[in-house]
Amino acid sequence: MKKNIGTTDKIIRIILAAVFAVLYFTNTVTGTLGIVLLALGATFLLTSVISFCPLYLPLKINTCKKGE
């Protein structure tokens, strides 16, 4: 897998994952929406760690700068 997520993209994804987790675990967002946000946050965190987003491939998006 070739990296396609840059540093700024990683930071945004990690922040969003943290916000979604806080919203869920403080019971601000509950039910189905809470579970969906938690799953989305986990996906954001995983894609940040591996620096690869499969959704970017068909859309031909690459936020990774040369040398990252």
User: Does residue 67 carry a pLDDT above 70?
Assistant: no
pTM listed for this prediction: 0.88
**Chain segment 4-62, per-residue pLDDT in tens:** 999 999 999 999 999 999 999 999 999 999 999 999 999 999 999 999 999 999 999 99
* DSSP of 10-59: HHHHHHHHHHHHHHHHTTSS-HHHHHHHHHHHHHHHHHHHHT--TTHHHH
Structure tokens, 2 = 């070739």
User: Which pLDDT band, with edges at 50, 70 and 90, does 68 fall under?
Assistant: low
Provide the phi-psi class of 61: left if phi over 0, else alpha when psi is between -120 and 50, else beta: beta
Residue-level pLDDT at 7? 94
